[in-house]
């Protein structure tokens, strides 16, 4: 049974109820004196508490999406296979070109059909969500993802069209399930398309870390995981090899919540030639080491320099500012990053950047707040991305 499956949650809940009933039944028989009855009572209490705690933890994980699979929970990181195909550098893309040996490989979904917004009906009417893993040629990373394909992707009049891309990044320790289910990105995409408030867009949903359970924060760690390389080089290459998506950066944007929002801002300011549009929901403006990240910047003379390079306030003051479009979202009450967000917006003014804000009067660092913000964020980003881009009429090479 999957870690987030309802069958596992119901099974453990049933076992917890049995444990409670068993303890009530056996407790009078353990009322005697001596070591054995005492050990029996302690064992009954421990077993009951563990079973109840297991139900609570499974329910919280299923709702928030901290860990999507048993392998993520146990820290088993998938390794990139040796059999990797070269990227298709030209010509029209197939409608969907996922393959077992490609840079985008199909996988089994994690209860995708139960997520809000999961397409039900013909693909050319409602679109589709693909469960895949993305193979990083340079980073040697393998990152599970959901890819949302809008209904227009399957329609005849768009069969030679490249679509814009939104890369939606979860917080830590969330993952693709958090973006799809808790942030409701597919649900909002379907609604915005129906209301004609968003262009048809391919959306890829994934986690910011490429070395779970370590929080790599979209940083190229010296002698460690190359998360920035994965997002700026491997991910665009893989998506272009399998889907009809834009070749030019004007059709690419990245958004995220919490540490995923931090990642989005970092990618836009550090790699504007890849992601010139970014949106951050409750993200931070600098990256720091903590227990989950470990040492992200290495040691020696270069360590402090690398750390400064990931401080966006420092970059605004000391680096040429690229002409990117950014959206930052926060709340006046309930969000710790409100002052930092206001400081960033003030510092960005007059720097040649296009900066927009969503400021709620009251909110929290959680999905209840981000669900209020994500629809308008996607609408804003869609206005910034170029659509359509025609596909070159040349034969595919493989």
Q: In this predicted model, what pLDDT tens digit does every residue of 336-375 receive, in sequence order? A: 889 999 999 999 988 888 999 999 888 888 888 999 999 9
Confidence of residue 252 (pLDDT cuts 50, 70, 90): very high
Q: Is 302 helix (H, G, I), strand (E, B) or coil?
A: helix
Mean pLDDT of the chain, nearest integer: 84
Q: How does pLDDT run across 385-398, given as a tens digit for each residue?
A: 988 767 655 443 33
Phi/psi for 63 (5° steps) reads -80, -40
Lowest mean pLDDT among 35-39, 170-174, 193-197, 279-283: 35-39
Query: Cα separation of 83 and 116, whole Å?
Result: 35
Peptide bond into 388 cis (omega under 30): yes
Q: How does pLDDT run across 320-332, given as a tens digit for each residue?
A: 999 999 999 999 8
Q: How does pLDDT run across 229-247, given as a tens digit for each residue?
A: 999 999 999 999 999 999 9
Max avg pLDDT among 45-54, 93-102, 244-253: 244-253
Does residue 274 surpass a pLDDT of 90?
A: yes
Confidence of residue 96 (pLDDT cuts 50, 70, 90): low
Query: Cα separation of 348 and 122, whole Å?
Result: 45
Check: CB of residue 205 under 8 Å from CB of residue 176: yes
Does residue 85 surpass a pLDDT of 60?
A: no
State the Cα torsion 136-140-143-148 to the nearest 10°.
10
The pLDDT of 277-306, averaged and rounded, is 90
Which residues, in sequence order, are CB contacts of 225 under 8 Å at separation 6+? 139, 141, 209, 210, 211, 214, 216
Does residue 76 surpass a pLDDT of 60?
A: no
Q: Is 287 helix (H, G, I), strand (E, B) or coil?
A: coil
pTM score, whole prediction: 0.76
C-alpha to C-alpha distances, 101 to 106, 170, 236, nearest whole angstrom: 10, 26, 17
Q: Is 239 helix (H, G, I), strand (E, B) or coil?
A: helix
Superfamily of domain 84-390: Alpha/Beta hydrolase fold, catalytic domain (3.40.50.1820)
Domain ranges of the chain: 6-63, 84-390
Percent of the chain topping pLDDT 70: 85
The pLDDT of 144-151, averaged and rounded, is 94
Does residue 117 surpass a pLDDT of 90?
A: no
């Amino acid at each position: 049974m999957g870690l987030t499956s309802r069958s596992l949650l119901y099974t453990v809940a049933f076992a917890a109820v049995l444990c409670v009933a068993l303890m009530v039944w056996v407790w009078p028989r353990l009322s005697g004196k001596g070591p054995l009855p005492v050990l029996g009572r302690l064992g009954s209490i421990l077993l009951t508490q563990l079973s109840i705690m297991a139900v609570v933890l499974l329910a919280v994980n299923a709702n928030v999406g901290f860990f999507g699979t048993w392998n993520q929970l146990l820290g088993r990181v998938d390794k990139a296979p040796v059999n990797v195909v070269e990227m298709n550098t030209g010509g029209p893309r197939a409608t969907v070109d996922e393959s077992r040996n490609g840079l985008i490989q199909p996988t089994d979904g994690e209860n995708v059909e139960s997520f809000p917004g999961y397409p039900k009906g013909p693909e050319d009417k409602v679109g589709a969500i693909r469960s895949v893993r993305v193979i990083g040629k340079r980073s040697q990373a393998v990152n599970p993802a959901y890819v949302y394909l809008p209904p227009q992707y399957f329609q005849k009049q768009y069969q030679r069209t490249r679509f814009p891309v939104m890369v939606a990044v979860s917080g830590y320790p969330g993952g693709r399930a958090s973006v799809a289910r808790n942030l409701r990105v597919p649900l909002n995409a379907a609604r915005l398309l129906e209301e004609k408030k968003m262009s048809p867009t391919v959306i890829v949903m994934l986690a910011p870390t490429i070395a779970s359970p370590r929080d790599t924060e979209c940083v190229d760690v010296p002698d460690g995981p190359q998360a920035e390389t994965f997002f700026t080089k491997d991910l665009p290459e893989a998506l272009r090899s399998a889907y009809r998506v834009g070749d030019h950066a004007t059709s690419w944007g990245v958004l995220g919540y919490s540490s995923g929002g931090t990642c989005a801002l970092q990618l836009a300011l550090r790699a504007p030639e890849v992601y010139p549009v970014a949106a951050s929901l409750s993200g931070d403006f600098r990256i720091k080491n903590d227990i989950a990240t470990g040492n992200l910047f290495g040691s020696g003379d270069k360590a402090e320099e690398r750390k400064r390079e990931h401080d966006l306030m420092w970059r605004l003051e000391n680096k040429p500012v690229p002409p990117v479009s950014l959206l930052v979202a926060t709340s006046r009450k309930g969000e710790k990053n409100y002052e930092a967000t206001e400081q960033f917006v003030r510092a960005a003014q007059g720097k040649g950047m296009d900066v927009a804000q969503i400021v709620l009067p009251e909110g929290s660092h959680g999905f209840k707040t981000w669900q209020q913000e994500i629809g308008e964020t996607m609408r804003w980003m869609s206005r910034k991305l170029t659509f359509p881009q025609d596909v070159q009429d040349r034969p595919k090479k493989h």
